[in-house]
Amino acid sequence: MNRPLHVLELTAGVAIGDPLGGAARFVVELARAFDQKKVVVHLASIWSYQTEAEAHWQTVLRAEGISHSFAARWEPTAPLSSCVQGLRGLWRSLPFRPEIIHSHGEFTDLAAILLKRHLGARHLIRTRHNIVEWPKRPALGRLFGHWLHPFFFDAEVAVSQQASAALEQRWLARRLRRRSETLYNAIDFRRFAAGQDVRQALRTQLGLPTTARILGTVGSLVKRKGYDTLLLALAELLPNHPDLHLVLVGDGPERPWLAALCAELGLQPHVHFLGAQNHIEAILPGFDLFVSSSLVEGLPTVLLESIAAGLPIVATDIAGTNEILQQGVTGRLVPAQNPQALAAAIAQVWAAPAETQAMIQRAAISARERFAIAQVAAQYTRLFQHLTLADQ
């Protein structure tokens, strides 16, 4: 094919970090990474969240000439109405006629199905970013994921091998002989330039001494992130490591509860809530260690960002995470919801500095080989081209 393919990348929004997370970040990075001689992209957000983070990414997209639109405004007090308005907005005013619609997320998958005929698209592709879909409404997950999507989508992509296996275990997918494909999330490693030094700046911002050691984590303040386990681990560490401080970047509904738990455990002087941040690359290098206490993940982009920032990582041994990190080789993995094991692994980072440094170096090599955004954009391009070959 000599002309570029027209692809609609469909996402919930571009309010990355406030309130959206790594999946939204990946969609934006993917749109920016495509070779425009092969793929012309329009990035459609179902909702505008009216946040500072969203304004930042709108500016980035405009500066790079990436076509982008919003369908409706998200109203947190009226989620059902927001969904209806989002569909109406996409239906009425989408300024793009794609050959392929590529959706990212549970509601966006449904929107893609409804839009296909209306926009004249020939193919539908969806990327599954989580191990569990529709976790709050499992009946919808079974209805849509198991019985609807195998019929309507020409290709289903998963961001981890475990998520891909879950797609292929569905009865209808097996019956129709529908195979899924694993294409990892990825980042632009150039965002974390060599020599970027924010260690002292972060300590000054927090009013901490230069000698303070910072455990950092990034994500929405929700139960599935397991931050209660992380706080309990910090409480175990402080008697022997009084210079430790924990920085939580992100916001969410669990913040008041987590603040109360800090008070209960007497951790307030050692725990710092930074809220949502636009420029994570200006914060991560200030950490001494990244900790992920998650219970469920897809393929956590923030781990790739932490590797790019040169940080050692301690994380829970869960699906997705253990496809990025190998225990004892590129990071330290511990069972989920086990504060004692998490505390012991954190302590080991400083007890074995040579081993820790070797892990950092091996993680960087592995991540750049497997999770570079240009490489993954090329893989998606080949998938798009493969689908359209049958149309010629």
Residue 59 pLDDT more than 90?
yes
Say what angle helices 227-237 and 255-265 make with each other, to 10 degrees.
20
Residue 11 pLDDT more than 60?
yes
Residue 318 pLDDT more than 70?
yes
Type of residue at 175:
R
Cα→Cα distances 266→107, 237, 289, 308, Å? 41, 13, 22, 33
Residue 195 pLDDT more than 60?
no
Type of residue at 39:
V
The pLDDT of residue 191: 85
Residue 2 pLDDT more than 90?
no
In residues, how long is the chain?
392
What does pLDDT average to over the chain?
Answer: 92
CA atoms within 13 A on the CB side of 334: 25
Determine which of 15-24, 62-71, 287-296 has the lowest per-residue pLDDT on average: 15-24
Task: Looking at mean pLDDT, say which of 75-79, 139-143, 220-224, 356-360 comes out highest.
Answer: 356-360
Beta-ladder partners of 219: none
**Tens digits of residue pLDDT in 25-49:** 999 999 999 999 999 999 999 999 9
The pLDDT of residue 270: 97
- Taking the CA atoms of residue 310, residue 355, residue 303 and residue 64 in that order, the dihedral angle to the nearest 10 degrees is 20
What CATH architecture is 191-370?
3-Layer(aba) Sandwich (3.40)
3-class DSSP assignment, residue 133: coil
The structure tokens listed for 241 are 């490591």
Residue 134: pLDDT band (50, 70, 90) is confident
Superfamily for the 5-186+372-389 domain: Glycogen Phosphorylase B; (3.40.50.2000)
The domain spans of the chain are 5-186+372-389, 191-370
The structure tokens listed for 129 are 């970013």
The pLDDT of residue 392: 64
What DSSP assignment string belongs to 204-232?
A: HHHT--TT-EEEEEES--SGGG-HHHHHH
The pLDDT of residue 70: 95
- Is the model more confident about 243 or about 281? 243
Domains 5-186+372-389 and 191-370 share a fold: yes
Determine which of 9-13, 57-61, 141-145 has the lowest per-residue pLDDT on average: 141-145
Residue 144 pLDDT more than 70?
yes
Residue 194: pLDDT band (50, 70, 90) is low
Residue 376 pLDDT more than 90?
yes
Nearby residues of 78 by Cβ (< 8 Å), 6 or more positions away: none
**Tens digits of residue pLDDT in 342-362:** 999 999 999 999 999 999 999
The pLDDT of residue 196: 52
3-class DSSP assignment, residue 345: helix
Residue 3 pLDDT more than 90?
no
Cα 378 from Cα 90, distance rounded (Å): 27
248-264 average pLDDT score: 95
**Tens digits of residue pLDDT in 151-184:** 899 999 999 998 898 898 888 888 888 888 999 9
